[in-house]
Structure formats: structure tokens, C-alpha cells
Structure 1
Amino acid sequence: MSTDLDRPLAGLRVVECATFVAGPSGGMALAQLGADVIRVDAIGGGPDHRRWPLAPAGGSLYWNGLNKGKRSVTVDLSAPEGRELVTALVTAPGPQAGILLENTGRAWLSYDTLAKRRPDLIHLRIQGHADGRPAVDYTVNAATGVPDVTGPETTTTPVNHVLPAWDLLTGMTATTGLLAALHRRQRTGRGGLIELALADVALASVANLGWLAEAQLSGRDRAKQGNHLYGAFGVDFATRDGRRVMVVALTASQWRALCRATGTEKVFAAMEEALRADFSQDDDRYRWRKVIEPILRPWFEDRTAEEAGRALDAARVLWGPYRTFTEAAAAGDPLIAQVEQPGTGAVASAGSPLRWSGGGSAPPAAAPRLGAHTHEVLSDVLGLTRADLSRLSEAGVIGGVSP
């Protein structure tokens, strides 16, 4: 059951003017921690409002998934009065307000402009490249070197990834930056501008893993590994029923567990002696992976995935089954719950993966309909009256429906 213990950011207000993955995923993480995240879009929605995948009824499952638990405000961003409303929301007073997460690059939303209204403003701006050039996850990934080592060993062309990993890492880095800036403001009273480039997050991640240093010091690029784990033993195996499982041995104890489960201790002991190898060492397991794999393969081919899984679990082997999205959605993981999404119906949705002592984890919330909270937010935060809201609505300055 969700309690206040798993809403540590309750009372914090963040205005989000961002589209696609990086900014909205960061805002979603803050909302799942209890912050009041107000997403601002143009009337009719931003460029991601109809992004695939779509529900049968036509709504964007992508947009819904990344905007869970937020409040949605729609404004005519081209109108001076609409821009003034957004500016007022961002710079509204209060020790838990004055926080902006954006990736628009609009001049009227610049830090210098907004800080004149609220000097302690915390403004985190997400960019493509640090020099202002545009970028998305897939263009950034191409320049990291990762596609060059992705895919089957026989493939000579780069292979793109499906998961927008750099976007998601940028979103989490944005939340870290915002919370660090908030902590500093609480200590010193100072706000500030934080700029975060998607390309920098990607490059820093690759460098932090030692991959750039490896290429620099070795003087050569890493070859494709297929499904083999680089630097240790790990690869997928087919089972008798046509399923596949991924098995990994990163440590000596995990290697012993795999040998014990598959009954191959004596075979590998003899191989070690013949090859003058030590399979308790990850570099030898990696070096001889093409010899190790065919010894293990028959054990998996003789068993169903369920039978293999029971034996691997009993021996505490590090492994996991391959699943489709359909199978993952139906697996019964407690993180996933059915949420009634307005305009879509019941959908599989994820709550926060953080589990708090005594409070569990926050369950998933529905995403709002576009503009659903426009009147509510402008009334709550800016004190606009019903007459004010009616006038703005009739003039086409704000969207949403009056409650």
C-alpha cells in the first residue's frame, strides 16, 4: 500500500515544458516521488502527443506512459498572454516552487529572462549537443561507437539499438541535477541554470565504462560479440521447447554454480588441464567462450525452458528467460498494474521501482488527458477566477475544459 513514506517530494512543484523522452521521463520520475509536476503543452498537444505506439482507440501509449501522475496544462504558446501565463507558473512564489525542466530553447523561457522575475529560479535545460545543435537518442548513439559493436559477429554494418537508453539516462540525470540544485538553494538561497546535453550523457556513459580508454590504449576497436558477454562468460542457449535463456557467469562462484547445475564439473576440469586455462578467472572463460558454449549447449537442448529454469535456480545460477513484450506484460510482476487510462481503457502500467521501507512503492497513476488540469492549475497557482478562465478560454489562450 502506498503511503506518504514513498512520496518524499510531496509539496514540490515542477513546471515541465519538454517533449519526447528525456525531459518527460525525468518529470515522470519526480511525479512518482510525489512532486506536483505540471506539464505545459501547446493547445492540441506537442509533437510527441501522437507518438507511436498507439492504442486501438488512437491515443498515444507512449505519451501516456511518460506522463503518468502529472497535471496537464495547455496554452497558446504563440500568444503573449499565453506566454505570460506560463512565465507566471514557472516563477510563482514559494520555497518548493520556481523549478523549470524544459527542452524547448524558446527565448522567452530562457534562464536570463525568467530569473528577472524570480532570481532563485532553478532551470534545467535539456539540449541535443552542448553547442546547441539538435540531436535525438538515435543520432547521438550513432556517434558513441556502440552500434559498431552491436549485432551478430558476421554483421559488418552498425546496428542501432531499439531502447532509447541515452534519453532515459538523460532524464534520470536531469532529476539528479534538479534535486542537487534544490538542495543548494535551500542551503544558500541561490538558484541557477543547469544545461544538460543528451550527447554529453551518452559520451560520458561510454567513457565511464572504460570503453573509450580501451580503444585508446589498445589502438583498435572492439569486435562485435553477438550475444556473448564481453570480458566474461555469458551467452544465450536454446531449450528443447524452442525457447531461449541467457546465462551469465561473472564470478568464480557463478561459474561453479553453472557447472554444478549442468553436471559439467569434470569435463571442464579436464579442459582446463588440457588448455592450461583457469575457468575460475573471467578472462579465461571469455577467451575460451567458443569452446565452453558447445559443451553446455546439449544440457539446455535436452530440457524445456521451465525444466532448465528450475535446475538453474536450484543451483543459484545467474540466468534469465527471453520474453516478448506480450509475455513480459502478462508475467505478473508486482511492479506492473492495470491502470484505467482516460480515453484508452485498462492498460499495463509501471509504478515507481523505488521501494521505501515501511511504505512499499508508489503504484502507477494514470496520465492526464491533454489539458485536463489547465483551469485547476491556473486557479490554484495563479489565483485566476472563473471569470478570468472563461475569458481566456473564449479567447483561445488556454485549452482544457472548465471543471
Structure 2
Amino acid sequence: MASAPDKPLSGVRVIEFGTLIAGPFCSRILAEFGAEVIKIESPGEGDPLRKWRKMHGDTSLWWFVQSRNKKSVTVNLKHPEGIEVIRRLVGEADMVVENFRPGVMEKLGLGWESLSSLNPGLVMVRLSGFGQTGPMARQPGFGAVGEAMGGLRYVTGFSDRPPVKTGISIGDSIAALWGAIGGLMALRHREVNGGAGQVVDVALYEAVFAMMESLVPEFDVFGFIRERTGNVMPGITPSNTYTSRDGKHVTIGANGDAIFRRFMSAIGRPDLAEDPALADNAGRDGRAAEIYGVIADWVAAHDEATVLNTAARAETPASRIYSVADMFQDPQFLARGMLEQASLPGGGKFRIPGVVPKLSETPGSTEWIGPALGEHTDAVLAELGYSSGEVERLRSLRAV
């Protein structure tokens, strides 16, 4: 793929110690926008994500996306000369991203006190289940636990059934976003305040908790506990998912005052459109069951195309529920470059997700897909001053 213009993070060097999802997704975002991300992997094994889900040969397709634009360097963190390689790398880095359980980096001699003494300007982004402090800090915590403890699982699903998960590892991904945001804020602080680095401490449960809208004040002021409500958003009426005559699922958000009037008129209910009691959200929410019943009956009597065309003419937000197959055919996805074409190792093409967000002057891009294990070890060590003979010696010791 062609190189993009200078990217906003060009010149920023990031050392990633992450595995699987949260840490690697955080540094993937940085790599997409120009950071040099050096991913540290264990020799012979590498990140377990290399073997997760659907495989191309012996490598996960997910790996190719999650590690795009990164350099893979193998280092044995249990070998003293491997630790010395890391110390030299960190001495020239701007940021470290790690998602080990708290205490692991310290046992390796790579905790904050040690690394910041080597490099006072270092920013260290630490992602973990429960953060670096508190009574649960040392406990293992995957994204699923963060979603459960942070409140997301409790409100997801239908009231007559147990809580359900979303179809992706959303807790890890949310934490990764906070990690990238925090890391960039810390770099900005370093830039304008004398070059000092700092720790960015992201707990998965807190990352999820931060997304929970008005959950806390509603409980504190009214004792109200938000429960599972399926596809309906109580207090925001009408917004729901419906089933059309041809069995397709369509989501319709007619919860704006003017939008509600337009949509009710479009489906043949001018009486509801002009009812003064339904002119605002509070009035509509008080008659939610009636309104939802009207829309559900109308959608059930029409096919998906008619429902979507009617909503479009009434300028009402609506969409079919997309599968990935729908995305591959959708003109909006295609026009915005959200399905990039890349080359597979050994030949062949495949599609990968486009880069988000879109920057008008310094866009992110895919320069290469996830690398082979240790693909950049020799080159990166050479930049650190190791001769080819020294690299071979380290390899013979299984230090890299």
C-alpha cells in the first residue's frame, strides 16, 4: 500500500509489551497514525493472538489487522541480556504500552521507577483488569470481567433473560481507546511542561464504567437502577428494533421531536404526529408502549425496503441490522474507504478494516499488515548499535 503523507505521530517511538487485545489495540491506533511501534514478543511463541480465530496458513487473520504497521522484535524477558536490549530500547522511546498483570513488569526490573530513571521523558501506558492500585490490582481481569464489573453486562439483554455479552471483546477495545487517548495527553503534557513523562493507568472495569452515561447520578439522586430493556432505550422514545414483513430486522430512531412528527405522518398516523401530548420526549415516554406498538405493527406489515425508503423520505434515522456481508456491498462503507485491500503472505488479496478516524491533512493508513514473528529483530537491534555478530550471539543464547 502506498505511504500516506507525514502522519501526526511520525517520530514517536512506542515499545509494546502487550498481548492479545487491549494493549495491542492501543498501540495499533498509534501505529496507524505514524508512530513507530516496536512490538516485543517472546522467541518461538509470540503473541497468542497469532493463533486466534480464523487462520491463513499458520497465522490468524485477526493478527494481520491488529498488528499492522508494527515491527516485531523477539526478546526473551527472562534472560538478563534480553532485559538489557529492552533497557536500551526504552532509553530511546517516547512511550511504553503494556498490559501485563500489575507487578509483572516490576519483577522483570522494568517497572515505572526503573524505566523512568532511564528515560525521564517516558510515557508509560499501563492497561490491566483493575488498575495498578487497590485491593484487586493483582488479580487477573480480562475484558469480560471489566464489562461485568463496569456495568455494561448488567444492562445488556432482555429483562426476562440473563445478561448477555456483545459479539466482540468490547471491554478490551474501550480500554485500548482510553489508553491511546491518555498516552497522547501525556505526550502533549510532556511537550509543553518541560519534558517530564508520567504513567497512564487504565483499568478495564473503569474504562467500561466511564461509558455508562447517567447510571451513577440516577442511582445517587433517585435510587434508580437501570435494568435490561432489550432494544428499547427507556427515557428516549421511540428508539427500537423491529421485524419487517420479510423477516428482516430494522432499527428506527424517531425520538427527536420534529423527527417523530415526520415519521408518524409518513406511516399514516397524523393523529399521533399532531398530538400535543406527544410533542416532547417526556410525553412520548409516558405512552411508550402505545407508540412502540404502532411502529411495530406498521413495520410488520411492510417489507424491509419499504420501511427503509419510508424512513429515508421522512428524514428519520433507520438502518437494517448489518452483517459483514452487508458491509461489503454498502456504498457508504466503500465510499469512505472502510474496506481496504491488502496482500496476504504468499500471495492473494484480502480485505481489512479501514483506519478511523479520518484526518483531512494527515490521515492514518496501513503501511504493512501484521509482521512475521521477529521480522524486524535484526534491523531494530542494528539501530541500537548491535553488530550482526552480537545479534547472532544473543540469538544463540536465546536472549532474542
- What TM-score results when the alignment is normalised by the length of structure 1? 0.87
Q: Is the CA contact 1:351–1:364 (under 8 Å) kept in the aligned structure 2?
A: no
Q: Is the CA contact 1:54–1:61 (under 8 Å) kept in the aligned structure 2?
A: yes
Q: Is the CA contact 2:50–2:60 (under 8 Å) kept in the aligned structure 1?
A: yes
Structure 1 residues 56-76: Cα deviation after superposition (integer angstroms, max 9, x where no partner): 534223333221111111112
1:67 matched to which residue of 2? 67
1:205 matched to which residue of 2? 211
1:101 matched to which residue of 2? 97
The aligned runs of 1:28-107 (5 Å cut-off) are 28-46=28-46, 48-92=48-92, 97-104=93-100, 105-107=104-106
Q: Is the CA contact 1:329–1:348 (under 8 Å) kept in the aligned structure 2?
A: no
1:375 aligned to which of 350, 373, 378: 378
Which residue identity lines up with residue 124 of structure 1 in the other structure? V
Matched, 1:121 2:103: no
Q: Is the CA contact 1:342–1:368 (under 8 Å) kept in the aligned structure 2?
A: no
Which residue identity lines up with residue 20 of structure 1 in the other structure? L
Q: CA deviation at 1:201?
A: 1.8
1:192 aligned to which of 180, 198, 216: 198
Q: Is the CA contact 1:337–1:364 (under 8 Å) kept in the aligned structure 2?
A: no
Aligned to 1:278, the other structure's residue is in SS state: helix
Structure 1: 5+ residue stretches without partners? 399-403
Q: Is the CA contact 1:128–1:135 (under 8 Å) kept in the aligned structure 2?
A: yes
Q: CA deviation at 1:361?
A: 5.3
Distance across 2 between alignment mates of 1:11 and 1:129: 32
The aligned runs of 1:3-402 (5 Å cut-off) are 3-4=4-5, 7-46=7-46, 48-92=48-92, 97-104=93-100, 105-107=104-106, 108-130=109-131, 131=134, 132=137, 133-155=139-161, 157-187=162-192, 188-206=194-212, 209-232=213-236, 233-269=238-274, 272=275, 278-331=277-330, 333=333, 334-342=337-345, 345-358=348-361, 362-363=365-366, 365-380=368-383, 382-398=384-400
Are residues 328 and 44 of structure 1, via their aligned partners in 2, closer, same or farther at CA, if it must alter by over 3 Å?
farther
Aligned to 2:118, the other structure's residue is in SS state: coil
Q: CA deviation at 1:356?
A: 2.1
Structure 2: 5+ residue stretches without partners? none
Which residue identity lines up with residue 231 of structure 1 in the other structure? G
Q: CA deviation at 1:113?
A: 1.2
Structure 1 residues 355-381: Cα deviation after superposition (integer angstroms, max 9, x where no partner): 22256653574111221111111112x
Q: CA deviation at 1:164?
A: 2.5
Q: Percent identity?
A: 26
Are residues 237 and 80 of structure 1, via their aligned partners in 2, closer, same or farther at CA, if it must alter by over 3 Å?
same
Q: CA deviation at 1:317?
A: 0.8
Q: CA deviation at 1:172?
A: 1.4
Structure 1 residues 309-334: Cα deviation after superposition (integer angstroms, max 9, x where no partner): 22222221111111223333453522
Instruction: Tell me how large the CA RMSD over aligned residues is.
Output: 2.3
Q: CA deviation at 1:218?
A: 2.3
Distance across 1 between alignment mates of 2:121 and 2:364: 32
Are residues 56 and 193 of structure 1, via their aligned partners in 2, closer, same or farther at CA, if it must alter by over 3 Å?
closer
Aligned to 1:89, the other structure's residue is in SS state: helix
Q: Is the CA contact 1:152–1:226 (under 8 Å) kept in the aligned structure 2?
A: yes
Are residues 294 and 98 of structure 1, via their aligned partners in 2, closer, same or farther at CA, if it must alter by over 3 Å?
closer
Are residues 224 and 195 of structure 1, via their aligned partners in 2, closer, same or farther at CA, if it must alter by over 3 Å?
closer
Q: Is the CA contact 1:59–1:343 (under 8 Å) kept in the aligned structure 2?
A: no
Distance across 2 between alignment mates of 1:386 and 1:364: 27
Distance across 1 between alignment mates of 2:56 and 2:272: 54
Distance across 2 between alignment mates of 1:194 and 1:356: 25
Aligned to 1:138, the other structure's residue is in SS state: helix
Aligned to 2:326, the other structure's residue is in SS state: helix
Distance across 2 between alignment mates of 1:117 and 1:286: 59
Aligned to 2:182, the other structure's residue is in SS state: helix
- What TM-score results when the alignment is normalised by the length of structure 2? 0.88
Distance across 2 between alignment mates of 1:76 and 1:60: 23
Q: Is the CA contact 1:243–1:305 (under 8 Å) kept in the aligned structure 2?
A: yes
Count of equivalent residues: 383
Structure 1 residues 35-68: Cα deviation after superposition (integer angstroms, max 9, x where no partner): 1111111113345334532225342233332211
Distance across 1 between alignment mates of 2:375 and 2:267: 57
Distance across 1 between alignment mates of 2:171 and 2:312: 33
**Deviates further, 56-65 or 120-129:** 56-65
Are residues 142 and 110 of structure 1, via their aligned partners in 2, closer, same or farther at CA, if it must alter by over 3 Å?
same
